[in-house]
Structure 1
Amino acid sequence: MENIYKELQNLGFSQYECKAYIGLLKNSPITGYEVSKRTGVPRSTIYEVLGKLLDKRAIYTVPSEPVKYSPVPAKELINRLRKTFETSFDYLEKELTSLESERETDVIWRIRGNDHVIEEMLAIINHAKDELWLSIWEPEVPEIKKAIDRKVAEGVNVFTILFGSPKTQLGLTYHHNYMPPDIVQERMGGHLSVAARDGEEVVIANFTETASPWAVKTKDPALVLVAIEYIRHDIMIEEITKELGPDKLDALWRRNQDLIQVVTGKRFESS
């Protein structure tokens, strides 16, 4: 019953209104006094509650002495509420959009909390129309894989660099094999994940074990471009490593003090 109350409250009913309406569904027609007695709605407020239900067109009165009340049938009420909300949404979508000022493309939104960050990444994925660029770590895969698979099925071009989860495919997937993920994680201070769509919008997120995940979201064309180029670069490094072998790539930088800092974020320490 609590779940029913919760859903009715989501549609604008108070807890007392929920109790009174459900009580009338079970027993009607009955007087206000009887509604109060059967539902636990205080007698001091029952007629105010019934009045609000009448205003919502959720119940109606039955002419009698004293006045009795009956509920609008559940299916009829649900259909009425659905039409009301759809009408309101259509109106607000039109009117609020017309009032909305042109937003600056360089606005950056900051997001905190794991659920909110994942939600924003899913929004990027779900809104992709032509192409999607992803840099993803294994722990995020279960949260987003279904959405990515849907986009692939729709014909969206998905390019992914994936840290860990070597058997997983997220569109055209390149697995980050050259440098162990823990080294990359140490340098970045966490799992830096990126989702960019259509050259228009990007979410750049960082998932850490010591603090709440955070992200930034923007349509700034410069940041979108940088994010996509970052993913392109990682993909090419993986392909170069595959072609030349990790030993040759190691030899290129491990004895070069400047490149050690570029690759690992640390200065070279001579023994």
Structure 2
Amino acid sequence: MEAIFTELQKLGFSPYECKAYVGLLKNSPVTGYEVSKRTGVPRSMIYEVLGKLLDKGAIYVVPSEPVKYSPIPAKDLIERLRKSFAETFDVLEQHLPAIESERETDVIWHIRSHEHVIEEMLNIIRSAKNELWLSVWEKQVPLIKEAIDQRVEDDIHIFSILFGAPNTQLGLTFHHNYMPPEVVKERMGGHLTIAARDGEEVLIANFTENSFAWAVKTQDPALVLVATEYIRHDIMIEEITKEFGPDKLDALWRTNIDLSHVVKGKRFK
């Protein structure tokens, strides 16, 4: 029942309106007093709640003494709501963009929660017109793979550096094999993830195990450039390592205090 109430509230019903309408579906026609008694809506508020349901076209008044109430059938309510919201979106699509001001390219949007970060990442992927640059981790693959495959079919040029998931391809994929993902994760404090498109927009996110995911999204050309170059750099390091071998790369930095700090994010103690 809570799931039904949650969805009705998304469509503009208050918690009490949800209880009253569902209560009437179960038992009707009944008086306002009976609705209150059966549903737990306070008697002091029941007639205000019923009035709002009448305004929504969700219930009928049944002429009687005393007055009773009855719901419109659930199918009719769903269809009425569907039509109403479709009409609302039609009006918004027609008029809202016309008053939208030119957005400043240096605005930075801050995003919180795993769900919203993934949603914004998918928006970047789906908005790409020519090319897409990705730095992602294995845990994100199931959430974006279908969208990536669709963009490949759309002939979007996709370059990705992937941590883990050695058998997965996300466009033209280079797997981060030189350094274990755990070392990178420790240095960055989580799974640093980047999605940049067309040299125009970038999402920079971090997924952590002990806190909420966060991200920033912007069209600032400097940040888009830095993020894209970061991915290019990672790809080149992987290719250099494959060509010359990991031992030579290890020898370059493991005995050098300063380079070790650069690579691992902490100094020798």
TM-score by length of 2: 0.84
Unaligned runs of 5+ in 1: none
Matches within 5 A, 1:37-186: 37-186=37-186
Q: Distance in 2 between matches of 1:251 and 1:77?
A: 71
The structural deviation recorded for 1:227 is 1.4
Q: Distance in 2 between matches of 1:120 and 1:7?
A: 23
User: Is 2:65 the partner of 1:36?
Assistant: no
The structural deviation recorded for 1:158 is 2.2
The one-letter code matched in structure 1 to 2:146 is: K
Residue aligned with 1:178, SS? coil
Q: Distance in 2 between matches of 1:14 and 1:253?
A: 62
The structural deviation recorded for 1:132 is 1.9
Q: Distance in 2 between matches of 1:33 and 1:183?
A: 65
Count of residue correspondences: 269
Q: CA RMSD in A?
A: 2.8
Q: Distance in 2 between matches of 1:52 and 1:8?
A: 14
Which residue number corresponds to residue 232 of structure 2?
232
Task: Give deviations 1:215-253, integer Å, cap 9, x for gaps.
Answer: 221111222122122212221222222223223444555
Task: Indicate how the Cα distance of structure 1 residues 179 and 72 shifts in structure 2: closer, same or farther if over 3 A, else same.
Answer: same
The structural deviation recorded for 1:184 is 3.0
Task: Give deviations 1:18-50, integer Å, cap 9, x for gaps.
Answer: 222223223333333343344343333332222
Unaligned runs of 5+ in 2: none
TM-score by length of 1: 0.83
Q: Distance in 2 between matches of 1:181 and 1:93?
A: 44
Which residue number corresponds to residue 5 of structure 1?
5
The structural deviation recorded for 1:163 is 1.4
The structural deviation recorded for 1:106 is 0.9
Q: Distance in 1 between matches of 2:265 and 2:22?
A: 63
Q: Distance in 1 between matches of 2:40 and 2:159?
A: 58
The structural deviation recorded for 1:153 is 4.0
The structural deviation recorded for 1:207 is 3.2
Matches within 5 A, 1:234-253: 234-251=234-251
Task: Give deviations 1:167-213, integer Å, cap 9, x for gaps.
Answer: 22222211111233333334434332111123221111233456544
User: % of aligned pairs identical?
Assistant: 75
The structural deviation recorded for 1:79 is 1.4
The one-letter code matched in structure 2 to 1:41 is: V
User: Is 2:181 the partner of 1:191?
Assistant: no
Task: Give deviations 1:105-156, integer Å, cap 9, x for gaps.
Answer: 0111223443433333233223334322111122333333333334334443
